[in-house]
Structures are given as C-alpha cells and as structure tokens.
Structure 1
Amino acid sequence: MAIHRSLVIFAIVALMVPAISLATDFVVGDDYGWTLGINYEEWAKDMQFFVGDTLVFTYNATFHNVYKVNGDDFQSCTVPSNNSLVFFT
C-alpha cells in the first residue's frame, strides 16, 4: 500500500513539474522595451501567453516612472496624492 501511495504522489509531482518549467519571461517590446512610439498590439499579435508567464516592462527610469493607481487615476492619467511610486529591485 505504501508503494502505491508513493507512486501516486510521484505521478502528481511529475505532472506538475513540466507546467512550472514551461513558464516564459517576455520583455514587452523586445529590445525597445516599454516606451513611446511602439505598437504593442502589433508586438503581441503573434504571441501566446500562458498562466505562469511573466511580462517584463523595461523602461528608462531617468525619463519614466511607475505609480500604483486605481482605475480612475489610470483613466485620467493622474498621479496619486500619496505619491505611491513603485520601486522594482
């Protein structure tokens, strides 16, 4: 019985490992990164993204910044009053 239980656990783990290892990091905009003048719909049109993939947004922090905003602030392009600048490490 213990061998049967061990085989079931091994099978479950074996099925999970490929799903985890197939995750892909995509740099949005490729070599151009996240910037003005790039057609990101065109960039993404032939891409296939899956659960577990990571979209990486690279940008020049000298000229750009990232704020955590709600939907209304995003739509109106308003910097939040608490200046919740997001820092990435």
Structure 2
Amino acid sequence: MIVVDGQSNERLVLDGGWLEKLRGGQSVTRTPASSFREAQWQELERRVRLFGREKEQLVQVTLVFEGGPFVGFITDAAKRPELEAIVDGLEAARSAA
C-alpha cells in the first residue's frame, strides 16, 4: 500500500489493484489500477501568503484512466518520489492485466 497526502486535505492510496482518492477521509474516486493509461506532470510554485515573498514548490499529477475518470492531485514537491511510486505501481498493474 502506498499513501501520499496532498493539498486540500486530499490523499491518494494505491492498494493492490485499486487507486483511491480521498478528501477529508471520504472516498471521492476509486478505480481499478489496471485501467491506468497515462500520467501528466506539472511543477507549480505559489506564494505561502497572499502578499508575502515566501513561495512553496508543488507538483501536480493528473492520472488518466480508460473510460475516465481523470484524477488530479497536488502535493509538496518533496513528495514527488512517493507519487512516482504510485505511477510505477499503476503502470505495473496495467502491464499485468
């Protein structure tokens, strides 16, 4: 099981053959890992405060599945290795199917 916490109280969980996105502890999306098609990555930067100089580095991944849904997820850039592990697990599940 791989778990990654993100922005807006969201969490991605890859558990066996399923990927689930949770928001506030409630399931938003649950889809078979074998239906994974691709991942689209984007690096983001945003201010911590509205008029402050301090910025935080984020990474956004959009996971595309056959027949939908699209699963968007944003987290700290430092957690990119965990997101890459989820994508690797999804690719492995697709190859096994």
Same fold (TM over 0.5): no
TM-score, scaled to structure 2: 0.21
Structure with more helix by fraction? 1
Structure with more strand by fraction? 2
